Structure 1
Amino acid sequence: MFRRAFWFTTGAAAGVWATNKVHQKLRKLQPDSLAAQAADKAVETGHRLRQFALDVRSGMADREEQLHEALGLSTPDGARELPAPRRAVLEGHHRTTRTTGPNGLTGPTGKEDH
């Protein structure tokens, strides 16, 4: 007698549990729920992309500082100042232009580039 009652109760509990699981899955597959899940995923992806961009910028700044130190472009107080020849080139004092000749591109001297 007790054996039958035990198995009946176990079967009933398993049926209730399975019914609840099926209903949960069905609620997750409703259009409103799918839209909310997609929105949550989009927000989460946006946060991850933003964090990635911040990490990239931080790494770029660190690497730029390393390169400035390696090239001797940093002053002792941490400010960056370019040496005079490099500054002149960057300011445009020694600009060279390319022109188009009868046979294609030519250099600043008028001779064709090879």
Structure 2
Amino acid sequence: MFRRTFWFTAGAAAGVWATTKVNRKLKQLTPESLAAQAADKAIEAGHKIKDFALDVRDGMVQREAELGEALGLNAHPDALPARRFAVIENRSPAKHDSSNDNKTKYIENPTYSYNRNEDH
């Protein structure tokens, strides 16, 4: 008799446990519950994207500061070096132009060619 009572109780407990588990799953799968879960996931993803964007912005500001220091862009305007001028002399004036009488020309911010094969 005790054996039958034990198995009856074990079966009833297993049935209650299974019924409870199934009812919880069914409640999770209702449209309202699914919508709430989706909204929670969307909010969580939005927070993660916002945190990522803030990290990227902080990195950009830090890198711009590093580049500004390396290039001297953050220096006070009085501390900047003077402008450079290149002197170009007109050694062969044009025959038809009388305004080129060996005048010296100054070019602001000259660019130089670094081609090693040029004029060699």
TM range (shorter): 0.5 to 0.7
User: CA offset at residue 18 of structure 1?
Assistant: 1.0
Q: Percent identity?
A: 65
Aligned length: 83
Residue 54 of structure 1 aligns to a residue whose secondary structure is helix
User: CA offset at residue 80 of structure 1?
Assistant: 9.2
Q: Normalising to structure 2: TM-score of the pair?
A: 0.58
1:86-113 per-position Cα deviation (integer Å, ceiling 9, x unaligned): xxxxxxxxxxxxxxxxxxxxxxxxxxxx
Alignment of 1:27-106 (within 5 A): 27-75=27-75, 83=80
CA distance in 1, matches of 2:77, 2:27: 60
1:16/1:55 Cα in 2 relative to 1: closer, same or farther (>3 Å)?
same
Match of 2:115 in 1: none
Structure with the bigger RCO (C-alpha within 8 Å, sep 6+) is: 2
RMSD: 2.8
Q: Which runs of 4+ in 1 moved over 4 A?
A: none
User: CA offset at residue 68 of structure 1?
Assistant: 1.2
User: CA offset at residue 66 of structure 1?
Assistant: 1.2
User: CA offset at residue 39 of structure 1?
Assistant: 1.0
Larger radius of gyration: 2
1:16-60 per-position Cα deviation (integer Å, ceiling 9, x unaligned): 111111111111111111111111111111111111111110111
1:17/1:10 Cα in 2 relative to 1: closer, same or farther (>3 Å)?
same
Q: Normalising to structure 1: TM-score of the pair?
A: 0.60
CA distance in 1, matches of 2:56, 2:21: 43
Amino acid at match of 2:52: F
Q: Which blocks of at least 5 consecutive residues in structure 1 are unaligned? A: 86-114
